[in-house]
Chains A and B, each alone.
Chain A
């Protein structure tokens, strides 16, 4: 299996622009997680899905952030409009209902200027 796939790996954008991050979970996994990692706040869970349905979005910072999972093999995290404080590494992870291990993608490093 190719593992969790994220794109792009790096994104540099200007404040006010829309940013879309993409994730393909491991085939057969029914949970998908979006995390944000910064030096100041460490690893934060933004939102997670079960069978494509959002279960907990309490970590989404504000209305500028939205996440969708239209099918079992694809999810997006969108920031509109982006701000410099959104600069971070964003990780996607997936797992199965009978597993406890979360499998992480390589991350998207976002820099908002």
Chain B
């Protein structure tokens, strides 16, 4: 079965320190990978995606993620965390398969990031 794992329910970092939110996946085929962020009482917002090309992708708010095919990972990173980065982060994957209009994303359970002042 295809799945996405976010092994940490919560990540705590001090403001100014680098942060990493982990994501691994188990799918057949070449995946499209995504990170979304959810602030309290808001809908999810797109951060970044990997479709093809350079394994390091840059997104909104200074976030970046590296696609590692051998480790089936897509960890989210930021060099210097801000208190305002505190939110719930979701990893998701889609496997485009042949023709058709399948747009179903497989979602991780989310990781709560707390950045302490």
Binding site for B on A (CB under 8 A): 4, 31, 33, 42-43, 45, 48, 50, 55-56, 91, 93, 95, 97, 100-107
Nearest CB of chain B from residue A61's CB, rounded to whole Å: 17
B72 CB, min distance to chain A CBs, angstroms: 19
**Interface positions of B (Cβ within 8 A of A):** 32, 34, 36, 42-46, 49, 51, 90, 94, 101-105, 107-110
- Alpha-carbon distance between A52 and B35 when the two chains are bound, in angstroms: 27
Specify which of A31, A43, A55, A104 is in contact with B45 (CB 8 Å cutoff).
Answer: A104
B53 to chain A, nearest CB (A): 14
Query: Which residue of A42, A97, A100 is within 8 Å of B32 (Cβ)?
Result: A100
Residue of B42, B44, B46, B103 touching A50 (CB-CB under 8 A)? B103
**Residues in chain A near residue B94, CB distance under 8 A:** 100
Please determine whether B43 and A97 come into contact, CB atoms closer than 8 angstroms: no
List of A residues within 8 angstroms of B108 by Cβ = 42
Give chain B residues whose Cβ lies under 8 Å from the Cβ of A104. Answer: 36, 43-45
Chain A residues with Cβ below 8 Å from B49 are 100-101
Task: Contact check, A106 vs B42: say whether CB atoms are below 8 A apart.
Answer: yes
Extra inter-chain contacts (8) besides given A42-B108, A43-B44, A45-B104, CB under 8 Å: A45-B107, A50-B101, A55-B102, A100-B49, A101-B46, A104-B45, A106-B43, A107-B42
Given known pairs A42-B109, A43-B107, A43-B110, the reply for A97 and B101 (CB within 8 Å) is yes
* A55: chain B residues within 8 A (beta carbon): 101-103
B32: which A residues are within 8 A, CB to CB? 100
Q: Which residues of A contact B103 (CB under 8 A)?
A: 31, 33, 48, 50, 55, 95
A sample of 17 cross-chain residue pairs with beta-carbon separation below 8 angstroms, ordered by A number, consists of: A33-B103, A42-B107, A43-B44, A45-B104, A48-B103, A50-B101, A50-B103, A55-B101, A55-B102, A100-B32, A100-B49, A100-B51, A101-B46, A102-B46, A104-B44, A104-B45, A107-B42
